[in-house]
Each structure stands twice: as C-alpha cells, then as structure tokens.
Amino acid sequence: MVNWWQGDPILKAMDVATVYPEDYGAVCAAFGAAQAYLEGAEADGFPAHMCGYARNCLGYTARMIELGEIPPEAPMGGMPQPSLLLASGALCDARYKWFQALGRYLDAPLWVLELPHPGVKEGLMEGAGEGNIYFIAQQLREFISFLEKLLGRRMDWGRLDETVDSTMEMNRWWHRANELRRARPCPMHSRDFWSSMPASLYMANDPGETAGLYRQMYDEIKSRVDNKIGALKAPERYRLAFLELPPWHSLDFFNQLAERGWNFVIESWAYHPPRPLDLDRVSDPLERLARYSYHWLTGYYPKANQAEEWWGYFAYPYLEYVRDYQCDGVVLHPLLSCRTATNHLMMVRDRLMKKLKVPSLVIEGDIVDLKLFDPARALSQAEAFEETMDHYKKLRKEAGLGW
Amino acid sequence: MNKVKIFTAGIDLGSTMTKVLILDGEGKSRAQVTGATGAEHRRLANKVMAQALGQAGLSLEEIGYIVATGYGRVNVPFADCQVTELTCHARGVSHLFPSARTAIDIGGQDAKGLKIRDGKLVDFVMNDRCAAGTGRFLEVTAETLGLRLEELGELSLKAASKVEIGSTCTIFAQAEMVALLSQGRPLAEILAGLHQAIASRVVKMVTGLKIEADVVFTGGVAQNAAVVQAIKEKLGHDVLVPDEPLFTGALGAALLAREIALKCLANGKTIPDKERRLEEARLYEDY
Amino acid sequence: MAYFMGIDIGSATSKGVITQEGQPLVGHYLPSQANYRAAVIKLREELLAKAGLSPQDIAKTVTTGHSVAGLPFKHERIADIRCCARGINRLFPQARTIIDIQAMSSRVIRLGQDGQVGNFIVSEPCAAGSGRFLEIMAHILRIDIKEIGPLSLRSQRPVHFTTSCAVFGESEAISRVAQGTPKEDILAGVHRALADKLCALTSRVGLEEPCAISGGGGLDTGLIKSLEDRLSVSLLVPDQPQLVTALGAAIMAQEKEKC
Amino acid sequence: MAQDRGMDRAKAIYQDRSQRAGELKAQGKQVIGYLCAYPVLEMMTALDLVPFRILGDMTEPISRADACLPTVVCPFIRSALDLALKDRYQFLDGVVMAHSCDVAEKTAHIWHSYLRPPYFHFIDTPHTTGDSAVKQHKRLLKDFQKTLEQLAGRQLSQERLKEAVKAHNQQRALVRELYGLRKPDPPLISGVESLEVMVSLMSLPVDEGSRLLKQVITEVRQRNSGPPKKPARLLIWGSIIDNSSLIQMIEGLSANLVMDDTCVGSRFYWPDVAATEDPLDGLAHRYLVALKCPRTFRQADPNKASKDYQADLEYRFGYLMEYAKEWRVNGVILQSLRYCDIHGYEVPQVKDYLNSLGLPAIYLEYDYSQAALAPLRTRVQAFLEIIGQGNF
Ligand SMILES: Nc1ncnc2c1ncn2[C@@H]1O[C@H](COP(=O)(O)OP(=O)(O)O)[C@@H](O)[C@H]1O
Ligand SMILES: Nc1ncnc2c1ncn2[C@@H]1O[C@H](COP(=O)(O)OP(=O)(O)O)[C@@H](O)[C@H]1O
Ligand code: SF4
Ligand code: SF4
Ligand code: SF4
C-alpha cells in the first residue's frame, strides 16, 4: 500500500515488484466491479462503514483464495497473490488494520512501517524532529534486515542510493508541474492530476523513467501556460480545490461542472509530493528517505505554528493552497467510509472561511461505494454555490485579499 | 409423550399486523387471525386473540401455553412467555421447510435475515435506525397511489422495464415516485423499481450471513409476488415462500409454546400457570 | 406596469407569487400531488385569475424547486436556494441567516449582501429532519397539520424523542399514544427532536443573527418555539413563510429581466 | 442490611463527574483532562496534577460538534467534543491526548484549536510494539514530561514517579480484586455497578479512588443483595462504554455481564507497570505493549516468513480465553460504535478466535444514543435465546 516513499524505494532496490490495493480499489470502482467485492467483505463480517479500498481488497482476496486463482471477472487482469504485505501506519488506522485482517485469507508475512504524526507544537520541541527521523530510519533498517532474511539476498546499497535519488527527482518534476497550475487559466484539471498521480504514489514503475514522464508533462504544461491555454473548453469562471479523494466511479461529474466553467486547480494534500528538500549532504540513503517522508508530513509545521494552526499536516496546507492557487471555492467530499480523508473537512471549511473568506460546498459520497454518492443532488447545488463564490469574491476584494 | 392433548397459541404483535395462531392437541392449526396493529388497534391485541379463540371455539383458559413474539411482545398480559421474533421465525420456517438454511423475513418495519442449522437459529442480521427497504415502503406506496397492497406486486410484474429509484429513505421514495409519475413514467415500471429497491436493500443486508440454500422468504411482504421475484433475481436462485408467509412468526411462537408445554408435562411438572388477563398490550416498557 | 411571476414547485405544495413594482401582489398555493406538471399549470391559472391578469401581462416567469419538463409557458429556472435568499431579503433586509424547512429537506442559508447566498447547507435526505416528519405525526395523532403548533405550545412535559428515523418515530409516537401520553407532549417532543436536527445543521454553517424562517415548517409555531429555545435567538417569521421562495423567484424574474 | 455507602458514592460521582473536580480545584489542585487510555497517568499524579478522564454523554444530543467534526466519525468522540464546546469541561486546567486512534488524533488538534486550553499536549503514541517503537515512545514521554514540568512549575524526580507507579499499580490490583467478585455465580456485583465504579475512579485522584475502591470491595463482599442468578454469563468486548444504559439493557434480560474487555473497564486497568530502574522504561512499555487495544498493531512473530493465522489469533486474543475460563463466560457480545474503524476491522478476527473456542458471539453496532438501544434489545434477546436454545 501507499507508504509515501518510505518503503517503496527499498523494495525497488531489492527487485521486489509492488502492487497497490488502493489503486486497484479505484480501478475496480471505475470498472464497476467493486460492488460484489464490497458485499463479499460485508458477508465476512466487516462493517460497511469501513474504508472502501479495504473492503474491496478484502472481498477480492477472499474470492481469489476461494477460487484458488485470480477471479475471472477481475478488471485489468486482477491482483496476484502477494508474498509479502507491507502496511503503512501513515495517515490512517485503516491501513495497518486492513492488512492485518488479510491474514484471514492470506498466508503472507506482514510488516508495518510507521510514520510519526506529531502535533505542531510537539513536533517543534527541541530534538523532536531529529528523534522522529531517527525512529523512521531505525524502522527502515529493521525492515531491510527482515527483507534480506525473507529474500535470501543482501541489499545493494549503491542501488538503493540511486533509487532514493531518482524517487526524489521524480517528485521534484511532479511538484514543479503542479506549481504551474497557479496560472490563470489553470492548465491542468484535477482529473489529469488524479490520472497522473499514481505514478508518483504507487511506485510500480522505475522512478527514473517516471521522472522523465513528469518532466515531459512539465514541459507540456509549461507551454500551455505560456500560451494561456486552460484545461477547460469553456472559459475558466471559477477556480476550485477538491478535498479529498474523488468519487472514482463518477468522475463524469467533473465534466458537467467543467461545462459551467468550474476548473479544479488543486486537490488532496496527501496525494501531492512534498516540496523539494535539499538532502545532498545526507549520505545515508535511509536517513534521506526518513527525512524526506517526514518532511512530506511535517514540512508545513513552522508556518502552521506561526499561524497558530494546530493541525499542521491535514488542515493547514489547504490554507496555503487556496491562497496560492487563488481558489474561489472548495468542494469537500466527506467519505462515509473514510475517517482520515474526512476528519478535517469541517475544520478546513471553517478556517478557509474565517481566514481567507473562501466558501466550501459539501458533497457527501464515497470513493468506491457508488451507492453513497448522488451526483444529481450535488449538481443541483452548483448554481447556488456559484452565487456564493461570487459573493465571497467581492468580500475578498474588500478585505484586500487579492483574488 | 404426544398423547397429551394440549392447545397452544402464538401471538405475533408486529409493528404493522397482529397475528394469532392456535394449535390444537395434534399440533395442527386450529385458528389463525390477523388484525392491523394501527395506532388504536395495537392496544387491542386482545381483540385479535379473542377472535382467534372464537374461531377455534375455545376459551382463554383452555389454551395450555401462549408465547408472545414480535415488536410488541414485551407486554402482552395474557402470554406466558416472550420470545423474540427471530427465534420464532426460525422455528416457524424450519417447521414448514425442514431443509431451510437461510430465511429472509420482511415485515412492516423490519427486515431480517436468519441463518438456520438443524432447525435452530444460529445467526441473524436485522435492520435498525432506518426503515428503508421494509413493508412500510409498500404501504406508503399503496397509500400514495390509492392502490390496494395486494395489487402492487401484480401490477409491477407487468412492467417491461424498471425505473431506478434513488432514494433509500422510505418516506422519500414516495416523493420520488410521485415525481417520476409526473414525468410520465409508467406506473408499472416505477413499481418495479420500488420492488427492486426493497429487494436489493434486503439482499445486501442478508449477504452478511453468507446465504445458503434453501432460502425461505416470509413475513407480510412475501405475499408480494414482485418482491419475491426481485429477491430471486438478486440472489440468483430460487426462494421458497410458505402459503401463508404472514403467520410464520405466530406459528413459530405457537410451536415453541407447544414444546415448552410438552416438556413441562413430560418432566412431570405442571405447566407454568400464571394469571392471564385478556387486556391491552403495550408496545414497549417505559424505561 | 410590469408584473413578474415566481413559481416554486415543492414536493408537497406548489406555490406562486406575482409581483408588481417589486412588491408582492398575490400569492397562491396548492398541493403538488402526484402530477407536478398539472399542479403547476393549475397554479398558474389560479394565480393569474386571483390577480385578474392574463398571461401576456407577465413580463417574465421564474420557476424553482423541482424541475418539471414540458411546461407550456416560457420560464427560466433558478435554484431554489437563491430564490429563498432573495425572498427573505425582500421581507427582512436585516436577516443574515435563513432556516428553510420544506417538506423533503431543510437547509440553512447564510446571506451575503443584497440577498446573495453567502453560504448554505442542505440536510441529508432523511425524513426525520424535514417537514415531512411533522406531517407524519399529524397524521398519526389524527389532527390537522395546522393544529400541531398551538397544541405543542401547551405541553408541560415534552416526551424525550431521540429516534433517528421518521418511520420508527412514527411507531414510537403510536406507542406513546397507546400509553396515554397527551398529544401535546408527543408533539412537543417531536418539535424538540426536529429542532435538534436543525440546530446541528445550523451549526455547520454557523448562525449569524438576525435569523429568519422560511418554508412550510415556518407555519408551525411549536417548531419555531423549540428552535428559538434551542438556538437561544428570536426568529424572524414571515406571514406566509411557505411563499418566500416563490416570492424570491418573482424577484429574480425581475432582476433577470433588467439585465 | 448493610448500607452500600461506597457504592452510593461511586454512583453519585458517576452521575455528576465534575463536582469533585471542582472541589479539588478549590483546594488549589490542577485538573488535567485526558482522552483514551494512552496518556500516562503516573506522570501527572507524580506532579500532583489530577488526571480526569474526558468522556461523552450519551443522553445529550450532539449539536455544536458538527461545526468542526464531520458526522461520519465515532459518536463518542463527537459527544466528548460537543460537551467541551458547550463549556462542560471548562474546569480543566489542561488537556492531554494521544494518538490512540485516527479520530482521537484529529480530535486532539481540533480540541486544541477550538478550545485553546491553557495547557495542551499531544502524545504521538506509536502503533507497533518493537524495540524501536518502545524507545520512540519513551522519548515522547520525556517530551511530555517537559511540558508537564513547565505546567507544574517544578521538576519531576524519579522517586516521585516511582511512587506514582506504585500508587497506580495498587489501584489496578484493587480493580482486579473487584472484578474477581464477578466470578461467582451469581456475581456479587453487576456490570452496571461495576461501570459506575470505573467511571468514578477516572474522576478522582488515584489515592482517593483507591480508598473508594477498598470501601466498595468490602461492601460488596458483605452484601447479600447482589444480582440474581441468570442463565447467561456474558463477556463484552469492544469500543468504549461510558454510560451504563447499554449494560443495563443487557442485564435487564436473562443475562449477567460478568466481564468486559473495554476501555472504561478491564482494558484500562489490567496490566501493571513493571518496576524499572528508569521508571519511564516501565511506563513506555506498559502503555504501548502491555495495554491491549486494537489501536496497536501486534502480531505473533513479525520476523516469520509465513503466517499461521491461528497462532496469530492466539497471540492477539488469547487473554479473552482466560477471561472466559475464569469468569465462566458462556457468550460474548462484541460491540462497536458506529464508525469506529479499529474495532470494526477486528470483529471478524475476534469472531474467528471465539469460534475456535466454541464460544458463541454476537456483534452489535450502535450509535451512542439511547434511542439506539431499543432495537438492540431484540438482538441481544435473540442471542440469549440462541445460547439457551436447549431451554425450549
Ligand atoms: N396482501 C399483501 N400483499 C402484499 N404485501 C402485504 C400484504 N399484506 C401485508 N403486506 C405487507 O406486509 C407488511 C406487514 O408484514 P408483517 O410481517 O405482518 O410485519 P410486522 O410483523 O412488522 O407487523 C406490511 O407492511 C405490508 O407491506
Ligand atoms: N399549517 C401548518 N402548520 C405547521 N406546519 C405546516 C403547516 N403547513 C405546512 N406545514 C409544514 O410545511 C411543510 C411543507 O413545506 P413546503 O415549504 O411547502 O415544502 P415543499 O416546498 O417541499 O413542498 C410540510 O411538510 C409541513 O411540515
Ligand atoms: S486514508 Fe481512508 S481511504 Fe485511505 S486507506 Fe485509510 S481509510 Fe482507506
Ligand atoms: S432515511 Fe427515511 S427511513 Fe431512513 S432513517 Fe431517515 S426517515 Fe427513516
Ligand atoms: S470508540 Fe473507536 S473511534 Fe472512538 S475513540 Fe475509541 S477507538 Fe477511537
């Protein structure tokens, strides 16, 4: 599963192929195949309010084990049976609990990598950051010795070194490409973001190659910016942010909004690469990884602290995004099955309004379970929300907020 | 031990209907009566009982043992004991269909799935919080359209295709239906959509039990052929429906009453003989 | 002299207002029943008759609420939230928040300048949080919907209603009746439960005073009282709260005509 | 008949939790609110700060919290935050929260932002139990110590901390003794009473709590008016239960609740802190490794290349079998609050384990409201009928 570059470069350097069940959950949702797996998980007693990706994966795995092979109906050839499960403690409980629950079906070893989530003040206490980084690096070391035992081969440290570097290189281009989206009109819509982001987050390919692709993308977006080409066919009337995960099964919904001139210019913080970090002087690749992932989560802390925003990673970044990308409004997508992507939304809504006078529209739904999303209801609120955005645009001007 | 002749009764005080069934000394049904559990009838569960006694030509004292079940079981002053509708349904179902392993029951306000092994209830699921996908759905529909409950199913089976009903809320499905009608969608297709909606909700809930054949479908809603059909389609195999699905719970209750009574007698004990009053029943205790 | 018409097609009732010189001239409503289209046509006819006007006299018509296909007259559709905001703004220019209680949903609207929608939130589609709950209760208690407000205000000991489903609430009420609980206490309990839901909804966009009420729920004095208690504010209640959105639609018709 | 004076006091505190806290404050004590089982109580006690557990109130409708927390999160947390937003926790001099579950972590930041208590600390408790995680935990406790010292205005000596460890261990021993009185059939003390005692302990300074406990234990031993004998002896597992009405509903049927594995109960009090040279070692280990809540990831042997599911279940849930044996349990209620992920994921696995022991279990999900209990009653009763099917 996604581990925000903690474990992936290590697996790559040891030639372990990776498969990401969240990604596959989105695939199943997009292909309309998820419903049966969700029901399968429920039939096995997993409550329906749990993460759609997890239930999809549990249901799929149960079926695969029952059949003794990849289910014939599985979209895109299915997911193979894994020989190792690497769970991540970053961002949510669901993920390590879910891989543990896979133990009901799979006889595969399971390793969990943690990522500390300090509070803003606690994270900025003397020595706290270094202590956390030490802990991450230590865990990575333990993971490597486990892998070496499991695979019966040694880590090629030189290769790891390179992989870590190209991972960061990849994200650097991807980050730069996203920075270009500040332009008016915005050259890249969230839909394109969602289809390009898996390469960075689900590191199934060689990061060096991916870096090249992101670089090409950067060039393409750059030329769009230079020629003032926007992502929409219609003129860009509103610039919006989308929080958090999209309804993978109903992406069409965005096309209808695009016709109204709604351009989605920035989205989920957790899917974005970290801002570049200079680690040239850190020679130990594990320490580089530890610093990099930790920076991804806590890089915003000093500024959040100044702004007295105590939720430094999931709530504060949006204050910057919405300002930097000059959003007129925000669409919030609380997920019935995901606490992590939902917990902060009300708070973000409140902070954005108080600090930046940017309104939000709440549309409830789910990532995988299409029964929980009602596009018609959502679209019916769009018109009124335009009026709201117009209203706050005026207020922002009056308050000298600038966009 | 079956030499002893003893009458027993089951009363199923459901959220919508009150059902009474009396078994004779041989364990055969001697009387079965239903009444609506409406706002004012509910208190009059005793009336339904009295009617059943009249039908059977018996007096209350002649009934050896009475088991109350259903939503309003908690306070039936003339019952000897209360048993949940889950156990009673399971009992009724396995009496009627000894091969049953799964039962689906849809009543006025609840829907449940029962897992049965060797005639015994071993697991169950039921709705709570939200009455979507229950008989209430149908009642509201019938009321809105000015149709009789009995007509809904047949009408719907005539539909060539079905409309997708989005609302899950029982109450709003009605509004949606009205809207669809005003858009000129044929009534039969809308009804087909409604029946589908009930079936998928219930089947989704029951999947939690890992459905195994034979599946029996009971409760008032099982009288609706369109829901039966829709459930068959969703499950992908046949379901068995008793001749009188409404009485399954009352039958189970009466059978349990009989078992308890016979067991007492076989052990040489007298049947627990508590004072019975044929008076108002309450729905739940104040607490 | 220009006349404008606003029609609000609600799930329970369809409402229409004709304005003259920006001021309401006549208002009218009738049950939507099973056929929105027929209801709207009839409403329009009766409304015109009431005003003594012919269709040609109307400069522009705006419809809002449910969308109905194939209406046999020219009109523009505008979202009901916007119309509601305009309507309240005309009646209470000082209002900053609206709690709108309709048959099928409730919404809370924060107002910007000139009756612009500042922010809003729409309740989830659950009957337990909308006017429908009141209708159901009136039905069970066998009283007219008009009576529930006055009755509820007489209650001394409201029952504690915590149910989260209108259908179960119905049964709970029925059993209360069976236990002999006075109707007014049941109603006051229902009002409290509904007020709690509305209160929670309101807190999601925040309450800025003064706060006005609109929608058919505004006819219910018992509900207003419970809401005022719960929110600790006094509410601005229009004479005909159910017509607010239609009025706003007529005002929008005039605005649109201008530009 | 002996007057249950300790029991009465416990009940009174259960019903009005803040009253005693107010008195303590009047005496110049500082009261620190904490959420969940993970903030280390001993450190507060040692600095003469009074730890006070933050709980919800099932009977109070949630109205304010929805402005800052979505409705799809655990209703217990929403309720606790709601109370705070309604100034019901205003008397607290500080608040400490930990990364117990996802929602608790996020709520910590929300609490901090919206309520701005005079003192606030967040402990980012790790989720795994290996050596590096325990070390990390110890380091985090040192940071906690620093902010606590600032608040208290003095240093925390190892001696004081060791004393506090002793005091809390003593209280834990007393709780286990009280739970022992639920082993006989019928139990000497009901589940409802036991919960009331647990809640009152969490509202008092440790010594005062222990005195109350001793009194209660003596009374219960002597009483002749305990719960009646009933056919079912149940164990309840799962999310937090801080209101007795769920238990009351269960005990109103033909069952006695004789043991729990929940957070205002045995889960909180069971493991002791080992006496270590540096007391922080014992504490770091106890709160991360010994405390058994599904929020922590544990598995039989992480270094094994293959998996033995049964052995893993044994490792994770083996203690439930001991509870079942010692308390002669014949049925288990698994309950989870709606939207509680950490318990939700665990349910099928606990069920697998209980199945392997042949113990019947039922899963209940409820949304922390009185109204939700009525429909649950039918479920519990049906479950009791399943357990006791022989009776028909
Ligand atoms: N003749 C019929 N045809 C179709 N549905 C029926 C008929 N009679 C009753 N029903 C349905 O059965 C429901 C009542 O079922 P029942 O099992 O008695 O429920 P409960 O036990 O909750 O009262 C009603 O809500 C109605 O929808
Ligand atoms: N006289 C009345 N007293 C109290 N409540 C009323 C009265 N008339 C209507 N209502 C309430 O108003 C609701 C209808 O409101 P309305 O705004 O017309 O809804 P819609 O626009 O969805 O049709 C009904 O559900 C009912 O709760
Ligand atoms: S963050 Fe949400 S969607 Fe992602 S794994 Fe966790 S619970 Fe699931
Ligand atoms: S959605 Fe409808 S059926 Fe469901 S809880 Fe709400 S009122 Fe009840
Ligand atoms: S009940 Fe579950 S979600 Fe709620 S605080 Fe406890 S562990 Fe967290």
Neighbouring C-alpha atoms within 13 Å toward the C-beta of B63: 34
Phi, psi of C12 (to 5 degrees): -100, -50
Query: Does the structure show a pLDDT above 80 at B208?
Result: no
What domains lie within chain B, and their CATH numbers?
A: 7-88+247-286 (3.30.420.40), 100-241 (3.30.420.40)
Burial class of A212 by CB neighbour count within 10 A (0 to 12, 13 to 18, 19+)? middle
A397 touches chain C (CB under 8 A): no
pTM recorded for the entire structure: 0.86
The domain defined by A8-174+184-399 carries CATH number 3.30.540.10: no
Specify the amino acid at residue C66.
Answer: H
| pLDDT tens digit sequence for A176-203 | 999 999 999 999 999 999 999 989 998 8
> Is B182 within 8 Å of C175 when comparing Cβ atoms?
no
At B159, is the secondary structure helix, strand, or coil? Answer: coil
Q: What is the pLDDT of residue D2?
A: 44
* Judgement on whether residues C214 and C247 belong to the same structural domain of the protein: no
Domain count, chain C: 2
Contact residues, chain B, for D363 at CB < 8 Å: none
| pLDDT tens digit sequence for D60-98 | 878 788 888 888 889 999 999 999 999 999 999 999 999
CA D326, chain centre distance (Å)? 20
Contact residues, chain C, for A395 at CB < 8 Å: 112
Cβ partners under 8 Å of residue B19, min gap 6: B11, B12, B32, B33, B34, B48, B70, B246, B247, B249, B250
Query: Does the structure show a pLDDT above 70 at C164?
Result: no
D245 touches chain B (CB under 8 A): no
Contact residues, chain B, for D375 at CB < 8 Å: 126, 128-129
Cα–Cα distance for residue pair C34/C38, rounded to 1 Å: 9
Query: In a mutational test of the pocket of ligand 5, which residue from D35, D73, D99, D103 has the highest number of ligand atoms less than 8 Å from its CB?
Result: D103
> Is B207 within 8 Å of A43 when comparing Cβ atoms?
yes
Mean pLDDT, chain D, rounded, equals 94
Cα–Cα distance for residue pair D201/D203, rounded to 1 Å: 5
**C90 close to C84: Cβ distance less than 8 angstroms:** no
Other beta carbons less than 10 A from residue A209's beta carbon? 12
Decide whether any atom of ligand 3 lies within 6 Å of the A53 Cβ: yes
More confident residue, B273 or C77: C77
Domain positions in chain A are 8-174+184-399
Residue of B nearest to A42 (CA): B208
Full domain range(s) for residue C60: 1-92+241-259
Of C162, C203, C206, the CB nearest to D370: C162
Contact residues, chain A, for C116 at CB < 8 Å: 387-388, 390-391
Which percentage of chain A shows pLDDT scores above 70? 98
Cα–Cα distance for residue pair A118/A128, rounded to 1 Å: 9
Indicate which CATH number applies to the domain containing C12: 3.30.420.40
Specify the amino acid at residue D205.
Answer: P
Q: What is the pLDDT of residue C255?
A: 87
Q: What is the pLDDT of residue D4?
A: 61
Strands (E), A286-398: 329-332, 360-362
Nearest CA among C89, C80, C83, C192 for reference residue C134: C192
> Is A394 within 8 Å of C118 when comparing Cβ atoms?
no
* pLDDT (mean) for C177-200: 88
Q: What is the pLDDT of residue D383?
A: 93
Of D374, D382, D392, the CB nearest to B84: D382
Query: Does the structure show a pLDDT above 50 at D189?
Result: yes
Which percentage of chain A shows pLDDT scores above 90? 76
Q: What is the pLDDT of residue B207?
A: 81
Cα–Cα distance for residue pair A287/A140, rounded to 1 Å: 9
> Is A42 within 8 Å of B207 when comparing Cβ atoms?
yes
Q: Element (H or E) spanning D341, and its range? A: helix D341-357
Cβ partners under 8 Å of residue A204, min gap 6: A17, A18, A19, A20
* Judgement on whether residues C11 and C28 belong to the same structural domain of the protein: yes
**A49 close to D339: Cβ distance less than 8 angstroms:** yes
* Judgement on whether residues C207 and C258 belong to the same structural domain of the protein: no
List, edge to edge, every strand of the sheet that includes A360-362: A262-267, A238-243, A329-332, A360-362
Q: What is the pLDDT of residue B38?
A: 61
Phi, psi of A343 (to 5 degrees): -40, -45
Output Rg (C-alpha) for chain D, integer angstroms: 20
Cα–Cα distance for residue pair D205/D208, rounded to 1 Å: 5
Q: What spacing in Å lies between the alpha carbon of B33 and ligand 1's midpoint?
A: 14
Name the most confidently modeled range: A23-37, B160-174, C57-71, D183-197: D183-197
Q: What is the pLDDT of residue A371?
A: 62
Q: What is the pLDDT of residue B171?
A: 72
Nearest CA among C98, C117, C1 for reference residue C58: C1
Query: Does the structure show a pLDDT above 70 at C226?
Result: yes
| pLDDT tens digit sequence for A365-375 | 777 666 666 77
Query: Does the structure show a pLDDT above 60 at B282?
Result: no
Query: Does the structure show a pLDDT above 50 at D1?
Result: no
CATH topology of domain D11-156: Rossmann fold (3.40.50)
Instruction: Specify the residue for token string 């009483």.
Output: D223
Q: Which two tokens stand for residue C192?
A: 């409290």
Cβ partners under 8 Å of residue C186, min gap 6: C137, C141, C159, C173, C176, C177
Which percentage of chain D shows pLDDT scores above 70? 98
Q: Assign B273 a pLDDT band (cuts: 50, 70, 90).
A: low
* pLDDT (mean) for A40-67: 91
Phi, psi of B140 (to 5 degrees): -60, -40
Residues 302 through 361 of chain A touching chain D, CB cutoff 8 Å? 309-312, 314-315, 334-336, 339-340, 342-347, 350
Query: Does the structure show a pLDDT above 80 at C259?
Result: no
* Judgement on whether residues C181 and C61 belong to the same structural domain of the protein: no
> Is A387 within 8 Å of C116 when comparing Cβ atoms?
yes
* Judgement on whether residues C224 and C99 belong to the same structural domain of the protein: yes
Q: Assign A402 a pLDDT band (cuts: 50, 70, 90).
A: confident
Q: Which two tokens stand for residue D123?
A: 């402990």
Residue of A nearest to C111 (CA): A388
Query: In a mutational test of the pocket of ligand 1, which residue from B149, B151, B241, B243 has the highest number of ligand atoms less than 8 Å from its CB?
Result: B149
Domain positions in chain D are 11-156
C79 touches chain A (CB under 8 A): yes
Query: Does the structure show a pLDDT above 60 at B284?
Result: no
Which percentage of chain B shows pLDDT scores above 70? 87
Q: Which two tokens stand for residue A383?
A: 């018109």
Q: Element (H or E) spanning A133, and its range? A: helix A128-151
Nearest CA among D95, D64, D127, D97 for reference residue D341: D127
Query: Does the structure show a pLDDT above 80 at D323?
Result: yes
Cα–Cα distance for residue pair B194/D283, rounded to 1 Å: 59
The DSSP-derived string for B64-117 is EEEEEESTTTTB-TT-SEE--HHHHHHHHHHHH-TT--EEEEE-SS-EEEEEEE
Residues in chain C: 259
* Judgement on whether residues C140 and C213 belong to the same structural domain of the protein: yes
Residues 66 through 125 of chain C touching chain B, CB cutoff 8 Å? 66, 68-69, 103-104, 125
Residues in chain D: 392
The DSSP-derived string for A48-60 is TTS-HHHHHHHHH
Nearest CA to ligand 3 atom 8: A51
Strands (E), chain D: 30-34, 49-53, 94-98, 120-123, 232-238, 255-261, 331-337, 361-366
Q: How many CB pairs under 8 A join C and D?
A: 27
Mean pLDDT, chain C, rounded, equals 89
Of D372, D381, D386, the CB nearest to B129: D372
Cα–Cα distance for residue pair A109/A97, rounded to 1 Å: 14
Nearest CA among A250, A252, A288 for reference residue A364: A250
Q: Assign B1 a pLDDT band (cuts: 50, 70, 90).
A: very low
**C52 close to C26: Cβ distance less than 8 angstroms:** no
Nearest CA among A122, A293, A47, A348 for reference residue D99: A122
Nearest CA among D309, D329, D308 for reference residue D237: D329
A213-217, C124-128, C196-200: least confidently modelled range: C124-128
At C27, is the secondary structure helix, strand, or coil? Answer: strand
Q: What is the ipTM of this complex?
A: 0.82
Instruction: Specify the residue for token string 């459930």.
Output: B231
Cα–Cα distance for residue pair D14/D12, rounded to 1 Å: 5
Q: Assign B287 a pLDDT band (cuts: 50, 70, 90).
A: very low
Q: What is the pLDDT of residue D390?
A: 54
Query: Does the structure show a pLDDT above 60 at D3?
Result: no
A344-358, D147-161, D183-197, D298-312: least confidently modelled range: D298-312
| pLDDT tens digit sequence for D120-155 | 999 999 999 999 999 999 999 999 999 999 999 999
Q: Assign C91 a pLDDT band (cuts: 50, 70, 90).
A: very high
Touching C (3+ Cβ pairs <8 A), the chains are A, B, D
DSSP D292: -
Mean pLDDT, chain A, rounded, equals 92
Phi, psi of D178 (to 5 degrees): -60, -45
Neighbouring C-alpha atoms within 13 Å toward the C-beta of A63: 23
A87-96, A323-332, C178-187, D336-345: least confidently modelled range: C178-187
Query: Does the structure show a pLDDT above 80 at B176?
Result: no
C99 forms beta bridges with: C108, C213
| pLDDT tens digit sequence for B18-76 | 999 999 988 899 999 998 876 554 566 788 898 999 999 998 888 999 999 988 887 78
C200 touches chain A (CB under 8 A): no
Q: What is the pLDDT of residue A321?
A: 97
Nearest CA among B27, B68, B29, B33 for reference residue B52: B33
Nearest-CA distance from B70 to chain C in Å?
Answer: 14
* Judgement on whether residues C248 and C202 belong to the same structural domain of the protein: no
A275 touches chain D (CB under 8 A): no
Contact residues, chain C, for D369 at CB < 8 Å: 162, 164
Specify the amino acid at residue A199.
Answer: A
The DSSP bridge pattern shows strands D255-261 and D232-238 to be parallel
